[in-house]
Amino acid sequence: MLKLLSSSASRQLYSHVASPCLRISTESSTTLLLQALSSITGSTRKNPREAGFYQKAFFCSDSSNDGAGEVAEAEGKSCEPEADNADTSSRSAIVPTNPRPEDYLTVMALPLPHRPLFPGFYMPIHVKDPKLLAALQESQKRQAPYAGAFLLKDEPGIDPSVVSGSDLEKNIYEFKGKELFNRLHEVGTLAQITSIQGEQVVLIGHRRLRITEMVNEDPLTVKVDHLKDKPYNKDDDVIKATSFEVIATLRDVLKTNSLWRDHVQTYTQHIGDFNFPRLADFGAAISGANKLQCQKVLEELDVYKRLQLTLELVKKEMEISKIQESIAKAIEEKISGEQRRYLLNEQLKAIKKELGLETDDKTALSVKFRERIEPRKEKIPAQVLQVIEEELTKLQLLEASSSEFNVTRNYLDWLTALPWGDYSDENFDVVRAQNILDEDHYGLTDVKERILEFIAVGKLRGISQGKIICLSGPPGVGKTSIGRSIARALNRKFFRFSVGGLSDVAEIKGHRRTYIGAMPGKMVQCLKNVGTANPLVLIDEIDKLGRGHAGDPASALLELLDPEQNANFLDHYLDVPIDLSKVLFVCTANVIDMIPGPLLDRMEVVTIAGYITDEKMHIARDYLEKATRESCGIKLEQVEVTDAALLALIENYCREAGVRNLQKQIEKIYRKIALQFVRQGVINESPVSKVQVGEPNEERAEIAETSTASVENSCNEKNVQNFVEADIIPMDQPSDQIQGATDQSSDSKDAKEREKIECGVSEAVEKVLVDTSNLADFVGKPVFHAERIYEQTPVGVVMGLAWTAMGGSTLYVETTSMEQGEGKGSLHLTGQLGEVMKESAQIAHTVARAILNEKDPENPFFGNFKLHLHVPGGATPKDGPSAGCTMITSLLSLAMKKPVRRDLAMTGEVTLTGKILPIGGVKEKTIAARRSQVKTIIFPSANKRDYDELAPNVKEGLQVHFVDEYSQIFDLSFSYDHSDN
Ligand SMILES: Nc1ncnc2c1ncn2[C@@H]1O[C@H](COP(=O)(O)OP(=O)(O)OP(=O)(O)O)[C@@H](O)[C@H]1O
């Protein structure tokens, strides 16, 4: 067969080459078509037909009817059935040993699930039926490798679009015999079996067939007719035009669809020339049309109609291709947008750099850091300078996007931002300092004195350093604010940080640079913040320093504060020594006992005990009220808080040692007044504003007078004075003077008035008087329950004095008997007493028994009575030995059924032998006693010195007794004139 094919092919080839006329005759429409498509695919073959003939002979076989038609066409003949016959007859001169394709009139029927097979196209199919597969192999062996390929009809009632391709393939071999026969489309293709590998059978379409009848059921074998295209005139303009339109459309689609380009390439290489029918088949086969549309093209034997059908399909393809292109373009644009941006940015950077407008990141940073250190290069320690230089070099070598680069940049940022050797000029003017301290704080003489001493030493030495001042005292006594004043007095920058609850050493000493997000410690942050190397640093709440889980913060603070060590303070992050010796540290604490020993040891403690009522009055009047008034935008003339009201506020609302609560209450009063003014302003606004703007002066004065009078009337009832701003219309000025006054200042005041009216605040406002009668309207009912719960202490009750972190306070010791019986004497304790206080109560019981024995031997009270001793304020834990003398007195009072002296309070630890030992917090206790209207206080003799040091105003009006033995207390408590009590 091959031999025959070759000879036939070569014969045809040579005939073409040899005969020039024949070559001229190749200028047919077929050649034009081929050239058009070849130009689309970019084929470089000069004469594709030459190669095409070899391949045509090989692939499509010279026995093809279509092939014959092509040859006929190529030779300029009309494609008539006769031509086919002529060709057949010409070939019949060679006697074939194997049957030619047109001889196959009975073929095995292969069902195609997806698409029909077009002549000239390959199609691999999977044959799952073993019997059919065996029959195909057998026919291949018998050198008769042909079968009929027919498209399978859709199952009636089932939407083909919802059946998946694999399902279709699976079902296809379930049909057998008649059933399969009925499901096949009548028109199919004679297919050459080119290879069988496993289940895969590769078919090449040859010519159209039509089934006529079924011959065998399994494998399905059918009789077929070979179909020929209807004769057509190849010079027909309409056919030509249609085919050119098909080609033009294909060309457009091919431009965008690379898959199609491959198809055309393969087709032109392997199948050869195009003619009109082939062009139609080709277009339909490569289009994405559905199987029925393709089958329609296959069934169409009228070439013109077939071309039309194909044109429809490729046009549709064209539309799809356009949509596909736009989708692809949109997605591409989206993706490339980012890239473009990046590219443009890079270009911009490069251009800027080229023009010298901008240096790259690294250079810019280096320049920035160098500029920072340049002015103080001499002041920066050599070691630090060296580190900076090393890091700057490192920065240049690092990749800008690396994490190491960022670490180095941050490090340099900190290192160069510190105020190396920059000091604020310290002021050692003692008088000025005194003025500033007095300006900010009332009283606190000890503290101020200590600070002035410190400044004086600094003046003499030329430098103030080396001391850590610790201000201790209850909350709200001004520890923090005095720290701020000291900074102002010394002209140092102020920085405050609280170490309350601080448990991480890294907060003080910084993190090592190796950690992600590492930061320097508070001290380095402080220096960067204040910008000078000699600030005043206030370390707040040092007594509440946390107990560290990662290192001991107290030790880290020690390194920070200790004048011996802090000249070379090493922060973990900076890793270069920093000189903190010029920093003045001031610490604050509520209870100094809680400060770690080594730290306390380095501090100079200045105690602020709290304020007595008198001091609070001054603070409230001269400082708190003033500050609050300003912060609320109220003028001095607009409000009057009477002394009585202030006193009531202090005594009934704010009895704690500090003044923070007092400040809050004053703020409350002023806020309420501010609201009242604004409301009033809104009400008065319209009439007043009308009068004030643009009215003649006389009229204005008149109206102002009238408004004054009317307000006055209403105010008499409300205990609120009417007030008109003095600079506009003084209240006490006679009406005839008003004219002159207003004339003089009319111009400047007009502007002022307008401004006020614009702000919505009326000129005429009422002066608010805050008195004891209306105090509750501003601050509510007193929330403070008096410490003094007995006007006159009953039998068994004595007032003691205690010290707490909140300041001093009075406390009662109460004793009562529960049960009586021979030898039943015992003591039951309540009131959340600590161990020391419980022991103290036991001691008191013993001492009281001894004293009673001595004073009244017949009295068996302590032996026979079961006693209950209680210290009220049961919710507050109490401890300490200083209530010893109070407990004894309470027990004896009950035993003797005699109340103690009126307005007496006492404090002191007692030994078993009745000796009185000293106690702490004399000032706080004295202040607390005064708050509770105590007249007589008993202190241990050892505390006399402390008491004598107290300011006279604290001691004022108090009768104080200092005792060594309990017997003295006994006399003071019980030997009094009954008429006095
Ligand atoms: N002697 C005083 N003269 C004027 N104002 C004072 C005086 N004592 C305290 N103050 C004011 O009281 C307010 C509270 O003071 P500050 O905050 O300093 O108290 P503190 O002792 O630091 O309290 P804490 O222990 O709770 O921190 C501040 O507004 C302060 O100005």
Give CA–CA dist 582/566, Å, rounded. Answer: 9
**pLDDT over 90 percentage in the chain:** 13
- Beta-bridge mates of residue 577: 570
Question: C-alpha angle with apex 386: 384 to 388, nearest 5 degrees?
Answer: 70
With cut-offs at 50, 70 and 90, classify the pLDDT of residue 514: confident
CA distance 175 to 800: 113
Gap between the Cα atoms of 912 and 398, Å rounded: 78
Three-class DSSP labels, 686-730: HHHHHHHCCCCHHHHHHHHHHHHHHHHHHHHHHCCEEEECCCCCC
Q: How far apart are CA 800 and CA 840, in angstroms?
A: 14
Q: What digits encode the pLDDT tens for the residues 334-387?
A: 888 888 888 888 888 788 777 766 666 777 788 888 888 888 888 888 888 899
For the Cβ of 588 lying below 6 angstroms from any atom of ligand 1, the answer is: yes
- Give pLDDT, residue 397: 84
Instruction: Tell me the C-alpha distance between 59 and 270, whole Å.
Output: 7
Query: Is this complex's ipTM strictly greater than 0.85?
Result: yes
Q: Which of 438, 494, 623, 806 to mutate to test the pocket of ligand 1 (most atoms within 8 A of CB)?
A: 623
Stretch among 47-51, 128-132, 650-654, 877-881 having the lowest mean pLDDT? 47-51
Could you list the active site residues?
Answer: 882, 925
What is the position in ligand 1's atom list of the atom closest to the CA of 624?
Answer: 5
CA of 457 to the centre of ligand 1 (A): 27
pLDDT at 800: 93
Percent of the chain with pLDDT over 70: 75
Torsion 917-918-924-927 (CA) sign: positive
- State how far the Cα of 913 lies from the Cα of 762, in Å rounded to an integer: 75
- Centre of ligand 1 from the C-alpha of residue 494, in Å: 16
pTM of the model: 0.54
Predicted local confidence at residue 559, as pLDDT: 84
What is the per-residue pLDDT for 952? 84
Query: Does ligand 1 have an atom closer than 6 angstroms to the CB of 616?
Result: no
Distance separating alpha carbons of residues 509 and 573, to the nearest angstrom: 8
Distance (angstroms) between ligand 1 centre and the Cα of 620 equals 11
φ, ψ for residue 7, nearest 5 deg:
-65, -40
Q: Does the C-beta of 475 come closer than 6 Å to ligand 1?
A: yes
Q: Mean pLDDT highest for which of 33-47, 448-462, 724-738, 916-930?
A: 916-930
Q: With 70 as the cut, is the pLDDT of residue 960 above it?
A: yes
How much is the pLDDT for 344? 87
Residue numbering of the annotated binding site: 473-480
Nearest CA to ligand 1 atom 26: 475
Averaged over 906-913, what is the pLDDT? Answer: 93
Residue 143 has pLDDT above 60, yes or no: yes
Q: Are strands 146-151 and 187-197 parallel, antiparallel or unpaired?
A: antiparallel
The per-residue pLDDT for range 600-632, each reduced to its tens digit, is 888 888 888 888 788 888 899 888 988 998 888
Spatial distance between the Cα atoms of 103 and 973, rounded to a whole number of angstroms: 146
The answer to whether 426 and 532 have CB atoms below 8 angstroms apart is no
Question: First-to-last CA distance in the chain?
Answer: 149
Q: Which residues of 466-478 are buried (b: 16+ CB within 10 A; e: fewer)?
A: ebbbbbbbbbbbb
Mutate to test the pocket of ligand 1, among 444, 660, 666, 924 (most ligand atoms within 8 A of CB): 660
- The per-residue pLDDT for range 524-572, each reduced to its tens digit, is 999 999 999 889 999 998 888 877 666 788 888 888 888 778 888 888 9
According to the per-residue pLDDT averaged within each range, which of 29-33, 73-77, 470-474, 844-848 is highest?
844-848
- Please state at what angle helix 237-256 crosses helix 303-355, rounded to 10 degrees: 30
Name the nearest CA neighbour of 424 among 486, 485, 494.
Answer: 494
Burial string for 441-454 (b: 16+ CB within 10 Å, else e) reads: bbbbeebbebbbeb
Atom of ligand 1 nearest to the CA of 440: 4
* Ligand 1 atom closest to residue 443's alpha carbon, by position in its atom list: 1
pLDDT of res. 394: 87
Rounded Cα distance between 861 and 433, Å, is: 64
Confidence at residue 908, expressed as pLDDT on a 0 to 100 scale: 93
Tokens of 66: 């279509």
| The pLDDT of residue 942 is above 90 | yes
Which tops the pLDDT comparison, 274 or 843?
843
Q: Which two tokens stand for residue 891?
A: 């027990």
Those residues whose C-beta lies under 8 Å from the C-beta of residue 67, and which sit 6 or more positions away, are 56, 60, 61
Taking the centre of ligand 1 as the mean of its atom positions, its distance from the CA of residue 478, in whole angstroms, is 3
Residue 164: the pLDDT is: 55
Pocket flag, ligand 1, residue 654 (CB < 6 Å): no
Q: Which of 12, 52, 13, 92 is nearest to 275 (CA)?
A: 52
Residue 447 CB partners (closer than 8 Å, separation 6+):
471, 482, 606, 608
Q: Which amino acid is it at 862?
A: F
Report pLDDT digits (tens) over 312-347: 988 888 888 888 888 888 888 888 888 888 888 888
Residue 683 has a pLDDT of: 55
Please enumerate in sequence order all residues whose Cβ is within 8 A of that of 170, keeping only pairs 6 or more positions apart, or say none.
128
Q: What's the pLDDT at 742? A: 39
Query: Is 704 buried (19+), middle (13-18) or exposed (0-12) by CB count in 10 A?
Result: buried
Residue 465 pLDDT: 66
CA 763/CA 731 separation, integer angstroms = 13
If pLDDT is split at 50, 70 and 90, which confidence band does 733 have?
very low
| Weakest mean pLDDT among 202-216, 253-267, 873-887 | 253-267
Q: Would you say residue 746 has pLDDT above 50? A: no
Mean of all residue pLDDT scores within the chain: 76
- CA separation for the pair 613, 200 (Å, rounded): 109
Report d(CA 455, CA 486) in Å as an integer.
Answer: 10
Distance of CA 48 to CAs 37, 42, 74, 768, Å? 11, 12, 13, 112
CA distances from 235 to 72, 247, 377 (A): 14, 17, 98
| Residue whose pair of structure tokens reads 């706080």 in the numeric block | 924
With cut-offs at 50, 70 and 90, classify the pLDDT of residue 187.
Answer: very high
- The finding on whether 477 has its CB within 6 A of some atom of ligand 1 is yes
pLDDT at 207 over 50: yes
C-alpha span between 656 and 180 (Å, rounded)? 106
Ligand 1, atom 30: nearest CA belongs to which residue?
478
Higher-scoring residue by pLDDT: 271, 507: 507
Residue 932 corresponds to which tokens in the numbers above?
A: 């509770």
pLDDT at position 890:
94
User: How many Å apart are CA 500 and CA 882, to the nearest integer?
Assistant: 29
More confident residue, 400 or 817: 817
Helices of type H across 719-874: 735-758, 775-779, 835-855, 861-864
Candidates 232, 309, 313; CA nearest to 275 is 232
pLDDT at position 222 over 70: yes
Query: Residue 67: pLDDT above 70?
Result: no
3-state SS, residue 818: strand
Query: Is residue 437 scored above 50 in pLDDT?
Result: yes
Look at residue 173 and tell me whether its pLDDT is greater than 90. no
1 pLDDT exceeds 50? no
Using CA atoms in the order 714, 717, 718, 720, what is the torsion angle rounded to 10 degrees? 70
pLDDT tens per residue, range 782-815: 765 556 678 788 899 999 998 876 677 888 999 9
The alpha carbons of the chain give a radius of gyration, in whole angstroms, of 57
Q: Give the model's pLDDT for residue 944.
A: 93
Question: Which secondary structure element, helix H or strand E, spans residue 829, and what is its range?
Answer: strand 826-830
Strands in 826-830's sheet, in edge-to-edge order, are 826-830, 865-870, 807-820, 797-804, 904-906, 936-940, 959-963
Q: Are 912 and 886 in contact (CB under 8 A)?
A: no
The mean per-residue pLDDT over the stretch 128-157 comes to 83
d(CA 530, CA 424): 10
Higher-confidence position of 195 and 51: 195
Contact 252, 245 (CB under 8 A): no
Average pLDDT over residues 648-671: 86
100, pLDDT greater than 80: no
The C-alpha torsion from 237 through 243 and 247 to 249, rounded to 10°, is 100
Nearest to 246 by CA among 52, 32, 26, 68: 32
Cβ of residue 798 lying under 6 Å from some atom of ligand 1: no
Pocket flag, ligand 1, residue 574 (CB < 6 Å): no
20-57 per-position pLDDT tens digit: 232 223 334 444 444 445 544 444 333 333 333 333 32
Higher local confidence (pLDDT), 334 or 269: 334
Q: Is the CB of 498 under 6 A from ligand 1?
A: no
User: For residues 67 and 500, what is the distance between their CA atoms, to the nearest angstrom?
Assistant: 101
Ligand 1 atom nearest 473 alpha carbon: 21
